[in-house]
Amino acid sequence: MIRRAPARLSREMMKKFVSGGVQGEMPFLDHLEELRWRILWSLLALIVGSVVGFILVDRMNAMELLIRPIEPFLNGGKLKYLSPTDPFFVTIKLSLLAGVVLASPIIIYQVWAFLAPALMPSEKRVIVPALYMGVVLFVIGVAMSYELVLPMTLKFTMGFQTKFLEQSIVIGPYMAMVTRLLLAFGVVFELPVVILILSALGLVTPEFLASKRRHAIAAITVLASVLTPGDVITVTLMMMVPLILLYEFSILLSRLVARRRVANAAAAAAAEA
């Protein structure tokens, strides 16, 4: 291991600096130029995604999907707004949010394309499938929140004091709650992807993850309480339980990555021998 490290370092140094000839500053400037262009492409994707999001929200009734869960509780009425500018700004906010979601694959690709040359082939073989898995897990989290958690939250919170209180649901706070809940479930379902990438980079080990299980459960409890309505215990549990299961799944994935790393090291040692 001690003798292989300088060889690997020299190969990486040659890969980074030979293309620049004797002037070591050129590759660094090239990296800055590449970073600048990738940021510009990401911003362009965000702008295009926001325009498409505006069309979806304003012209294709995407807002109706977000309003549909609360319609049974409106008694045939509509959501209210308090300011003449509220409909416009709600539409803009939803368009920007949709733009971020639509542009995220391109942004992730730009980040990946910039960082990929610094990764080993074994690391790439793990990270690339993890990114695809992340998309699937995000969709599952959002779908679970929309189909199960959001209706349950509305039914629970709007079932109190109905004899004495009359509802007047305002569009702004309602949309803020809905989008926060949907995105919260989508993002936290990315836990296996994060741990898988960290394991591939050698930053965490399955032994470390297993030893910190109690700490992870405590952190998951706090996170679920913050991201979900605190007065709806069932909703909090509906986020906690999948996250705990995903953490255990992440430990399994980390073990698979560790075994592959050991197998690759053994194969490399056998080849050198």
What's the pLDDT score for residue 45? 94
Residue with tokens 């994707």: 45
What's the pLDDT score for residue 60? 81
Mean pLDDT in order along the chain per 10 residues (273 residues): 42 44 54 87 94 89 87 85 90 92 89 82 79 88 90 81 79 90 89 87 87 90 76 73 90 87 76 72
CA neighbours closer than 13 Å in the CB half-sphere of residue 240 = 19
Q: How far apart are CA 229 and CA 233, in angstroms?
A: 8
Written as six digits, the tokens of 165 are 């209180």
What sections of 59-120 are H helices per DSSP? 62-67, 86-115
Structural Rg of the chain based on CA atoms: 24
What residue type is assigned to position 27 of the chain? Answer: P
Q: Which residues pair with 80 in a beta bridge?
A: 170
Q: How far apart are CA 209 and CA 207, in angstroms?
A: 5
Please give the model's pTM, rounded to 2 decimal places: 0.76
Using alpha carbons, list the distances in angstroms from residue 49 to 46, 58, 65. Answer: 5, 14, 19
Contacts 24+ apart (CB under 8 A), 33-38: 34/114, 35/114, 38/110, 38/111, 38/113, 38/114
What's the pLDDT score for residue 62? 82
CA dihedral 186, 187, 193, 194 (to 10 degrees): -170
What's the pLDDT score for residue 168? 83
What's the pLDDT score for residue 20? 44
